[in-house]
Chains A and B, each alone.
Chain A
């Protein structure tokens, strides 16, 4: 019954996320509240990792399948898109490339600086 209990915990956190979404006036979806709550519970040790691990990892593996039906649903929203799909496609492709490049390069640049600084530190210490 380990899986059932793990499922219950996950659904519990989902419900808590939905409740916060309904109660708080912030423009955040329920999934973010639930994710932050579960993360905090795991980090503080209030909820041991073993209480959610296997079923949670199963759900994570299942996630891509859940995108198939919404993708098929594009048939339904085609009337809105039929005239503008070329520009929509341009926006999606270009912005995805730019965002990928910016977030990756910025992170790597700063990590490079941090590592260079660390290397300098050890060098300086070595010279002492």
Chain B
């Protein structure tokens, strides 16, 4: 049975999508930020793997049958960006400034705290690109000699944090302009945050996609510089 489930990519697909669906139901029912579908889905899938004794490696292999869709899906962010772009032209300089400031602060912050905690170079390189979307962050991390699995985990956790506490942060920081909300979600917590921004308004979603693209490019260019400072 374990061999059958391990070898079957259908089991991996069913487990992933099923666990995520349950996560979605939980979120609708409890309406608490901690019931993030990715988080709930990952914990559920992990528990099922442990219970069925299917090795994580076989599960990951099964997931490769659909995980390659991440790059095309990321590319599709050009669609909301295009739809909203004409309406954003006036706000563009302010958004750009916000994203550039946020990205610089992110890199300085991570780098500084990693120095403070005397972290190994591998870990610092893995954490530096944590605010950009997975498809981009993993590539940047690998280029700097980081550990992709840690980068992925940091990116996802960052995304969940932004998605879970972003609406609350908007209130506390009195961010009421949709473009400012979008810039914050997109710069701080990439695609996952932008998906949350989409629930707030279309403008916030479009600014979020714009922000995550610019933050991604900036991070990819600046990260190697910071890595050299280590």
Closest to B36 in A: A64
Total interface residues in chain B, CB < 8 Å: 108
B100 → chain A, closest Cβ, in Å? 9
Q: Are A56 and B76 in contact (CB under 8 A)?
A: yes
* A residues near B79, Cβ cutoff 8 Å: 38, 42, 49, 52-53, 56-57, 60
* B residues near A27, Cβ cutoff 8 Å: 140, 143, 220-221, 223-224
Out of A39, A70, A76, A94, name the residue touching B156 (CB < 8 Å).
Answer: A70
A22–B49 Cα distance when bound, in Å, is 36
Q: Are B73 and A74 in contact (CB under 8 A)?
A: no
Q: A95-B113, A107-B94 are in contact. Are A80 and B136 (CB under 8 A)?
A: no
Residues of A within 8 A of B (CB): 10-11, 13-14, 17-18, 27-32, 34-36, 38-39, 42-43, 49, 52-53, 56-57, 59-60, 62-77, 80-81, 84, 87-88, 90-108, 110-112, 114
Residues of B within 8 A of A (CB): 12, 16-17, 19-20, 37-39, 41-42, 45-46, 49, 56-57, 59-60, 63, 66-67, 69-83, 85, 90-91, 93-95, 97-99, 101-103, 105-106, 109-110, 113-114, 117, 119, 122-123, 127, 130-131, 133-136, 138-140, 143, 147, 149-150, 152-154, 156-159, 161-162, 166, 169-170, 173, 175-177, 179-181, 183-189, 191-192, 195, 211, 213, 216-217, 220-221, 223-224
Q: Shortest 9 CB-CB distances between A and B: which pairs?
A: A103-B102, A104-B184, A107-B98, A29-B139, A77-B149, A108-B180, A71-B42, A110-B94, A69-B63
